Structure 1
Amino acid sequence: MAGYGNQPIYIVDPSKERTTGKDALSMNIASAKAVASIVKTTLGPKGMDKMMVNIMGDITLTNDGATILEEMEIEHPTARMIVEVAKTQEKMAGDGTTSAVVMTGALLDKAQKLIETGVHPTVLVKGYAMATQKALETLNNYAVTVEKIDRDMLEKIAHTSITGKASEMARGHLAQICVDAIYAIENEGKVNVDKDIVMAKEVGGNIDDTELINGISIRKEALHNEMPRRIENAKIALIDTDLVFAKTNTNSKLHVDSAEQLFDFKEQEKANFRALIQKIIDTGANVVFCSKKMEDYALHFFKEANMYATRRVKDEDMEVLSYSTGAALVRNVNEITADDLGYAELVEQEDEHEEKTYIKGFKDARTMTILIKGGSEHVTDNIERVFDDALHVVKSVYEDGTIVPGGGASEIEVAQALRKYAASVEGREQLAISAFADAVEELPKAIAENCGFDTIDTIINLRAKHGTVKNAGLDVETGDVIDMLEKGIVDPLRVKTQAIKSASEAAIIVLRVDDMLRAREQAMMDVKPEHNVHNYDATGML
């Protein structure tokens, strides 16, 4: 607000909350650090789990950083931006979300301490940018090359990702499934995990019963006992609408003078519906998946045509079937043609009494299904999240062919390189680069803390051993510092580089903000009950 004479001049809307200068920066840094502190205890193989209960009473039990932040109802804008860091990390690398968030909080914490000593945020922004480039260069030089055919190393990558999750006891079996799935869907050196691998969950049995299926598995069965349970060279129709008798218009009136007229009307309805079903049969289809209702009357005609048919297929299953078989989702049966059909080498309901159908052998797709089994819904949900992370990290290594030692070894390598680099930089940017090195070391500190080890002793041992053993990292079981490559504890290079880029970019954005305007929440105006809109009709008050 400015003034001219005795008249105030409002430059900024007075209804907005405004925070400026160091207050704005401190508030934003505090919110980012708060988010980081929430997920920090989940970091590493010995990290703790978080239990989240929504307003419906549904429980989510996980230590996956992306899932935790997604389930939380975060309001502060800076905190929401940190959540976006996790989403970006998940999208680009598939894992390392917790590391990216914790590093963001650490970078801002170190920056705040320098700001309090008089270092300007602009200097920190420049220093952090320089440190980021040096850290990425160091990691690329530190990386180890892996061949695509090195199955043993790919399984070690999956092992490292799964370790610390609720399914850790079965990590050997799950790691094998991950690698088998990646090899199965590989196409010219590229892997599309999100499209070519389907997760199906089944409560019952235990984690060791989880299996990889070549094709698609859906929890449906043939609707008639006399329908075939096995169809080779399947021509598949995907009907995304109701297969029911046509309804007359709501405002229509039917005058019937005799029972014969009513009978004729019913017969005409059946004839029209029969013609509709015949359009599907005439395309040459021998398998019908319907996502909605299907009249029992239709089953008779599909049975007579020796076709397999089922109904109320989930929308996500219909989308997978469409992608894999090449079939179009038909929403107007009157317009269906043979070109709308998809193909599979085999559609089979293996057990006549089991509600499960397999679709296998596609022309262009390489779709595989991981059938997850567990003792409860919470267990299967957790395993699904484990597979999501593990598959993506194996994909990263398969496509990039590069790994780095785990157990904090890569972070120590980066921190030491940054401190050496800082000594060669003139000006206050040197302080920012050194602060960046300290922030990177917060990751192995957090891992050690979550294991119950002393963080100071751990960092001292890591620094000392790293001078002679370049791959030295923390053994979370014993607390010793050992060679991580020999131990088989490795991480994808992509996960580490993306975490540094995401954390650095988020920290720089926060440091550049010195003025924050926020609209105040406005309460709804009280309305007298007699003036409520629901108490009026078209002509006046009821």
Structure 2
Amino acid sequence: MAGQYGGQPVVIIDPSKEHTTGKDALSVNIASAQAVAKIVRSTLGPKGMDKMLVNIMGDITLTNDGATILEEMDIEHPTAKMVVEIAKTQEKTAGDGTTSAVVMAGALLEKAQEMMIQGIHPTIIIKGFGMATEKALQVLEEYAIPVKKDDREMLEKIALTSITGKASEMSSAHLAKICVDAVYAIENEGQVNVDDDIVITKEIGGTIDDTKLINGIAIRKEALHLEMPHRIENAKIALIDTELTFSKTATKSKLHVDRAEQLFEFKEQEKTNFRKVVQMIIDTGANVVFCSKNMDDYALHFFKEAGVYATRRVKDEDMEALSYSTGAALVRNVHDISSEDLGFAELVEQEDLHEEKTYIKGFKHSRTMTILIKGGSEHVTDNVERVFDDALHVVKSVFEDEMIVAGGGASEIEVAQKLRAYASTIGGREQMAINAFASAVEEIPRAIADNCGFDTIDTLLNLRAKHDTVKYGGLNVETAEVDNMLEKGVVDPLRVKTQAIKSAAEVAVMILRVDDMLRAREQAMMDVAPEHNIHNYDMSGMM
């Protein structure tokens, strides 16, 4: 960008940067956000399609979970990244509804662009969207239905609604029951911490119906020696996050030996020194040792002699779960270990000596449970894991808020109709923005109908017409009829719906406020003569 001063050009902005202004900048930003919405739109609803994502290593992810799709996509455009960030916020706050938020944001921007073509300034649109958001949240609060924490049947319906379309239909009820069981098990004074108190582990083999909830933590490890104790009550647990092996010096050294006895004495001294290191752990009172790295056979021998249960190469995520649940510290320097670093569990047990699995149960400061996912392949277990992530969070939302809304597009139709009635009471061009917001909210039932193969116009008109007589009327995805979603058990947490509207409105407003975009172009690497290329250097002489 340059100007004129005294007849001379004045460069203000680096010409190597890409500069877009005014309507061009707004159009590009809106188009990029709509592109993201278009990608995930076909996954919405119980009949939504799946996406196959293949990374540069050839690993395949097969899912229709909006949050996973957006996370795995390699998005470069800055505006599209803003949409992805809003989706992450939706996932973190409500646990589900990311696809709805993104689709709604795309619809809001499409309506905004249509209004700008008609000559309405973005500031007016932003004001109207703000008024519509406030009203929509109020409508949802009034439309919501209170539920009780002990209403197990309703909580299972909530989980089932989240699971439907994401996992095997035959196993949905089983998975929903596990979700509710898990939430009840970890509940503490009305609060539920599903991120820390529920550990999800996967095993290839069996079917989804073999998935089960385990009291405590289950890790795929076994005692490293048959003579070690396989059941320890009142376990004092040490978590060693370093190798328990002979130390090797960083520099070369020579050992001059005159007699065979000297070599034997040296070996014995080395063994004694190493035993002192292991003894430091035993002296703390630890009777269970989990090591995340390698462990020498000498260490195993010493632990066996002391009656300590020990295992090695425990996964980092299992070590973190054990640390959180037992209160044990991750020890990275064995010389600094003390009894204060130990954790506690009522029981550490390897129930079946032929099964590679250790159970840790009974914690003082947590109620940790493990969901063991079984499936015929890695793709199946990975997909079920994503299903549990969503379903557990929506059950948590209802458990804490005790509020639900009818699903199947019923709540969106309610919001849209109330917004249109509200818009008629507003003067000025903001009225158009509120009506546009109402139409954008209806994009959710429209997309659900489209993904079911139904006629979207007829479906939407039918939902609008029957909503006054069937208050909780939503789309039956099997028959295309309008049914009472409460009676059908199709319900969603209030938190998911309110957060989706907030997220969609926030990202739409952020994008509409941008009228100038300055973007640095990627710089190509400077050409280098072949003889100076780093790959052609012989590094052997530098070692």
Q: 1:79: Cα distance to partner? A: 0.6
TM (normalized to structure 2)? Answer: 0.98
Normalising by structure 1, report the TM-score. Answer: 0.98
Matched to 1:59, the amino acid is I
Alignment RMSD, CA only? 1.4
CA positional deviation for 1:280: 1.2
Alpha-carbon deviation of 1:233? 1.1
Partner of 2:464: 463
Higher mean C-alpha displacement, 497-506 vs 238-247:
238-247
Partner of 2:95: 94
Partner of residue 371, structure 1: 372
Partner of 2:308: 307
Alignment match, 2:390: 389
- Once the two structures are TM-superposed, the CA of residue 254 in structure 1 deviates from its matched residue by 2.9
The 1-side partners of 2:535 and 2:64 are apart by 46
The count of residues paired between Structure 1 and Structure 2 equals 540
- Which segments of 5 or more consecutive residues in structure 2 lack a partner in the other structure? none
Structure 1 equivalent of residue 129 of structure 2: 128
- Asked if 1:295 corresponds to 2:301, the answer is no
Question: Helix, strand or coil for the counterpart of 1:347?
Answer: strand
Query: In the alignment, which residue of structure 2 is the partner of 1:257?
Result: 258
Tell me if the contact between 1:246 and 1:269 (Cα under 8 Å) persists in the aligned partners: no
TM-superposed CA distance for 1:244, in Å, is 0.8
Displacement after TM superposition at 1:271 (Å) = 0.5
Alpha-carbon displacement from aligned partner over 1:349-394 (angstroms, at most 9, x marks no partner): 1111111111111111110000000000000000000000000000
CA shift for structure 1 position 429:
0.4
In the aligned structure 2, how far is the partner of 1:226 from the partner of 1:244? 21
Alpha-carbon distance in structure 1 between the residues aligned to 2:99 and 2:190: 29
Question: Deviation string for 1:392-428 (max 9, x for gaps)?
Answer: 0000000000000001000000000100110011110
CA shift digits 1:97-137 (9 cap, x unpaired): 00000000000000000000100000000000000000000
Which runs of at least 4 in structure 1 moved beyond 4 Å after TM superposition? Answer: 533-538
Aligned match of 1:433 = 434
1:474 to 2:492 alignment: no
Counterpart-to-counterpart distance in 1, 2:328 and 2:184? 25
8 Å contact from structure 1 (residues 124, 429) kept in 2: yes
Contact 1:279 1:333 (C-alpha < 8 Å) held by counterparts: yes
Q: CA deviation at 1:529?
A: 2.2
Q: What amino acid maps onto 2:297 in structure 1? A: D
Structure 2 CA distance for aligned equivalents of residues 533 and 449 of structure 1: 55
What is the aligned partner in structure 2 of residue 278 from structure 1? Answer: 279
Q: Secondary structure at the match of 2:399?
A: helix
Partner of 1:398: 399
Q: Structure 2 CA distance, aligned partners of 1:5 and 1:281?
A: 84
| Amino acid paired to 2:429 | R
1:536, 1:36 → 2: CA distance? Answer: 48
Greater shift after overlay, 502-511 or 1-10?
1-10
Q: Hey, what's the Cα distance between the residues in 2 that align with 1:228 and 1:247?
A: 31
CA shift for structure 1 position 536: 6.8
- Shift of the alpha carbon at 1:256? 2.7
Q: Secondary structure at the match of 2:43?
A: coil
Contact 1:47/1:164 (8 A) holds in 2: yes
Deviations 1:215-258 (A, max 9, x none): 00100011111111111111111111111112234144433333
Q: C-alpha displacement at 1:532, in angstroms?
A: 3.4
Matched, 1:41 2:48: no
Deviates more, 1:94-103 or 1:290-299: 290-299
Structure 1 residue 161: Cα displacement? 0.3
Contact 1:127 1:433 in 2 (8 A): yes
Mean CA deviation greater in 232-241 or 180-189 = 232-241
1:334-349 pair list within 5 angstroms: 334-349=335-350
Residue type matched to 1:516 in 2? M
Find the aligned partners of 1:226 and 1:76 in 2 and give their Cα distance: 60
CA distance in 1, matches of 2:242, 2:372: 28
Alignment of structure 1 residues 52-91 onto 2, 5 Å: 52-91=53-92
Shift of 1:333: 1.2
Structure 1, unpaired ranges of 5+: none
**Secondary structure in 1 aligned to 2:360?**
strand
Q: CA deviation at 1:303?
A: 1.1
Task: Give, in angstroms, the shift of residue 486 of structure 1.
Answer: 1.3
Match of residue 191 from structure 2: 190
- Take 1:101 and 1:293, find their aligned partners in 2: how far apart are those partners? 46
**What displacement does 1:262 show?**
2.0
> What is the percent sequence identity of the aligned residues?
78
Partner of 1:500 in structure 2?
501
Pair 1:203–1:434, CA change in 2 (3 A): same
Contact 1:178 1:394 in 2 (8 A): yes
Q: Cα distance, 1:531 vs. partner?
A: 2.5
In 1, distance between residues paired with 2:247 and 2:447?
A: 64
How far, CA to CA, are the matches of 2:364 and 2:7 in structure 1? 80
SS of corresponding position for 1:9: strand
* TM-fit CA distance, 1:94: 0.1
Question: Take 2:250 and 2:352, find their aligned partners in 1: how far apart are those partners?
Answer: 43
